[in-house]
Amino acid sequence: MTFLEYAPAPESTSILSLRDDYSLFIGGEWVAGGGERFASISPSTEQQIATFSSADEGDVDAAVRAARTAFRETWGPMSGRDRGKYLFRIARILQERARELAVAESLDNGKPIRETRDADVPLVAQWFFHCAGWADKLDWVGLGANPQPHGVAAQVIPWNFPLLMLSWKVAPALAAGNTVVLKPAETTPLTAMLFAEICEQAGLPAGVVNLVTGAGETGAALVRHPDVDKVAFTGSTAVGREIAKALAGTEKKLTLELGGKGANIVFDDAPLDQAIEGIVDGIFFNQGQVCCAGSRLLVQESIHDEVMDRLKERMSTLRVGDPLDKNTDVGAINSSEQLERITRLVATGIAEGGEAWSPACELPKEGYWFVPTVVTGVEASSTIAREEIFGPVLSVLTFRTPDEAIAKANNSPYGLSAGVWTDKGSRALAVADKLRAGVVWTNTFNKFDPTSPFGGYKESGYGREGGRQGMQAYLKAGK
Amino acid sequence: MSVTTSSQALAPAERAVQLLGGDLSEVALRRHLEGLPTVDAVGLEARAAKFGTRSIKTTSKAAALDLVIRMIDLTTLQGSDTRGKVRSLVAKALVPDASDPSTPRPAAVCVYGDMVGNAVAALGSAWSAGKDDGINVAAVATAFPSGRASITVKLQDTRDAVAAGADEIDMVIDRGAFLEGNYGKVFDEIVQTKDACRRDDGTYAHLKVILETGELVTYDNVRRASWLSILAGGDFIKTSTGKVQPAATLPVTTLMLQVVRDWERLTGERIGVKPAGGISTSKDAIKYLIAVAETCGEAWLDPHLFRFGASSLLNDVLLQRQKLTTGRYSGPDYVTID
């Protein structure tokens, strides 16, 4: 064995005490759902982790009613200061149980423990701490004195960052005084169940947080429920469009955080070694299953070959495999459907003239795997330069001038994120200013912070999460 | 101003002329160095921190610990060094751990120039004398650590150490000249020192160029100084004298590894890297090995291409090694002090 192979360093799962079956969490009680039960499997082994309840319309109605009651009787009338105390308590428990949550998240989602341990779970705690601080300071959120919560928030989150997306939704909603009914994704409900246990541990009043598991129908029933005041959705553009249609003409407030096809622009004066790292972080973080991934690399033509050589060399050091091994950089794809989609889109990219390259690497026999791939020779009109792949696949395009870079970066139905790599500050600012994307990172990529608003332009959705703007999404202007 | 070089060391100078497009003037040298890729400090430090999150266990750890020992330049560089102190250091190099004869030996002992003769004598038949096996004697020279002396003195310092048997010369660059932007002077001194490393039989002592990165301060400076040192014929680039804080850091070493990787890509030549000062635990040393492997590749995991300048590191590695064998941690009295 060579040194670089590193001996296996698997994280122990003995810290977990999971149940075999999970129910719905409604009004502070665990209740069986009316729908069919379903199982969540570990994407890296295809082994079943636990079974979960599907919430039918009746269960969704019960959850919304529980949230309404809690809003009216306990959470709504409570002072911001007291709400803050609960949120701080939850944040501290999240930190105390960080390792357990990291292991559970890695197991259920397939993402490497390095990422759940060093990125997801610490950010989740940060989000609760940040929002907890807002709970008694809502007068300063920018909506005038004494802004009011909407009431019951219906929240539907995706499978790529199950716990992090939960925190982005639940923390600001509760801080603002709303109560919530949240539906986690069908393939990754596990950490939401652990979060329900944390709510119990924190003594959160019954009904403030309600969790309904299930597939798309459960989510549809939730967002359509007539007694919901606010809907927040993160997921695909197609589903987002359906929700927007369903809510049109109602009083319900809506924020959508949808797909993306982020442009990562590398100028010839970029700090090259760091740009390579940024490209890698931009597209291979969480196996590329990131809506703001830098999936379209726009590299200045004069340095294209050098950047590709360096990138391929760097990709050869990425370690793909068991997500629970502490040395794994790239884990499993979340589901067989997603793997199929990635495979199909890459085949299309090659058929349209792109040239795919992947490092030599042995994949586990079981589970869903896709080797990190870079596709060069992609043109603006290629399918894989337009469509979101949501996998570890980088499409590489070139440009010659800053104007061309900006034009190509903006030439997308999406507008969630972009990156600019240059050593010249004036250029970084000038280019960032012209990019139509909700987040523009300079000389870095995929950095998240609870104080920074996140959201999209165009088909990437509307509304912002994080920062003051994220709090505003859960409040009505004060009088 | 054109850079003057002595005839014996034409090889690096000629190569530099070639790389600079036929013009080895101060202006051309400056343009070349300023044209190197820049460094984003935040990104570099984030990358270095990531190396520290690798988990090196069991067989990997055992291999790493032995490799670390083989890469150590066991060092004493005190004004108070005596013949007895050097003898004691050499004895430790010869038998690092009396309780385990399978323990490898460090690459070299590193001493002041006037102690070279003593080190050679103490090593006896274990002295490599320029061969591949055995223990090398490395000497700091060129008015180490400040480098503040006339070039005549610096070169004589080097020649004396080589004449006394030094296999490796650790020279310091003129940081003052570098910070003034006088790159030609720095280049020239390295070329001349390399020339002074020449032995009577035509072979050369290995030249390690100490950048003293703590005084260069910015990462861009470190990249330029690294490149300049290699251009002028240095066989190794070394972070620090150990007398200035900060000494070796993982980001600085990572950057220097990126430079030697780029140099190999350009010329096919492999240059060594030596972090020195402040690396005292096995845990830290292993992070450096990871940086080496993931930046330059495993070919660099070799004492010919990577060294640790250290004095207290060896004992910590020995304790870790004993722990792997016995399953228990022992105390500091289970390794020797020298």
For the question of residue A291 being annotated catalytic, the response is yes
Instruction: Report the run of H or E that residue B75 belongs to, with start and end.
Output: strand B72-75
Residue pair B252/B239 in contact by the 8 Å Cβ criterion: yes
**Contact at CB, B294 and A272, closer than 8 angstroms:** no
Instruction: Output the CA–CA distances (angstroms, integers) from residue A92 to A75, A98, A162, A201, B95, in the order listed.
Output: 20, 10, 19, 11, 51
- Alpha-carbon gap: A455 to the closest alpha carbon of chain B (Å): 24
**CB–CB of A400/A265 below 8 Å?**
no
- B9 pLDDT higher than 70: no
- Residues A419, A262 contacting (CB under 8 angstroms): yes
Cross-strand partners of B273:
B237, B306
Q: Is B44–A274 a contact, with Cβ atoms under 8 angstroms apart?
A: yes
User: Which residue, chain included where needed, has tokens 């969490």?
Assistant: A25
**Closest of B154, B1, B97 to residue B319, by C-alpha:** B97
DSSP B299: G
Best CA proximity match to A217, nearest among A242, A247, A194: A242
**Phi-psi category of B127—alpha, beta or left, where left has phi over 0 and alpha has psi -120 to 50?**
beta
Q: Check residue B4 and give its pLDDT.
A: 40
A423 touches chain B (CB under 8 A): yes
Low-confidence ranges of chain A (pLDDT < 70): 1, 479
Provide the Cα torsion B17, B23, B25, B31; round to 10°.
-90
The per-residue DSSP string of A288-340 comes to: G--TT---EEEEEGGGHHHHHHHHHHHHTT--BS-TTBTT-SB---S-HHHHH
Q: Which residues of A touch B47 (CB under 8 A)?
A: 273-274, 277
A5 interfacial to chain B (CB closer than 8 Å): yes
CA gap A251, A146 in Å, rounded: 21
Q: How confident is the model at residue B2 (pLDDT cuts 50, 70, 90)?
A: very low
Residue A1 is predicted with a pLDDT of: 61
Size of interface A-B (CB pairs under 8 A): 71
Question: H/E element holding A206?
Answer: none
Q: What is the pLDDT of residues A227-286, one digit of tens each?
A: 999 999 999 999 999 999 999 999 999 999 999 999 999 999 999 999 999 999 999 999
The CA distances from residue B329 to A324, B105, B152, B285, B319, in Å, are: 28, 22, 51, 19, 7
Chain A residues in contact with B256 by the CB 8 A cut-off are: none
Q: Furthest-apart CA pair in chain A: how many Å?
A: 69
Pick the catalytic residue: B97, B157, B167, B170?
Answer: B170
The active-site residue, picked from A11, A115, A257, A465, is A257
The pLDDT, as a whole number, for residue B144 is 97
* Strand A439-442 to A417-421 pairing: parallel
CB-based contact, A268 to chain B, within 8 Å: no
The string of pLDDT tens digits covering residues B13-67 is 788 888 888 888 899 999 999 999 999 999 999 999 999 999 999 999 999 999 9
Whether A438 and A457 have beta carbons less than 8 Å apart is answered as: yes
Site of tokens 């690096």? B12
Report the mean per-residue pLDDT for chain B.
94
pLDDT in tens, B148-180: 999 999 999 999 999 999 999 999 999 999 999
**Could you confirm whether A257 is annotated as catalytic?**
yes
Confidence (pLDDT) at B212: 98
